[in-house]
Amino acid sequence: MIHLIFCLHRLPHLSREEFQRYWRERHAPLVAAHAAVLGIRRYVQAHTFEHPAAVAVAGVRGAPESFDGVAEVWFDLDDLVALPQRPGAADAGRQLLEDEQRFIDLERSPIFLAHDSVIIGSQ
């Protein structure tokens, strides 16, 4: 399986809470509605939060500005490669991108594909 990782920064006019609420309550159902046509096997949202422990961990590491969240999406590689030929996939992708532009600062939000290598725990 292939793991798409999308490190998200919110648009400047949104608070972290507004961004995360929209992402969870509006965007997540849209992703779920298109999961079958896009071949999505798993979708997880990791929401960052303010806490002294988070500040301490970042400080020890000299970390840059934190993301507002991370979207994680799993696909079978063959399904991902075949997306351009899949009926309805282009329209689903367009709808998701249009929605992302409402709350994600896309220029500051890196996205990449990776293979998982589980060291501790199970897949």
pLDDT of the residue at 118: 86
Instruction: Report all structural domains of the chain as residue ranges with CATH numbers, in order of start.
Output: 2-114 (3.30.70.100)
- Per-residue pLDDT of 23-81, as tens digits, reads 999 999 999 999 999 999 999 999 987 766 565 565 566 655 788 999 999 999 998 99
pLDDT of the residue at 66: 80
- Per-residue pLDDT of 100-117, as tens digits, reads 999 999 999 999 999 988
* End-to-end Cα spacing for the chain: 11
Question: What is the DSSP code string of 23-34?
Answer: IIIIIHHHHHHH
Q: Is the pLDDT of residue 19 over 90?
A: yes
CA distance 14 to 7: 17
Strand, helix or coil at 84? helix
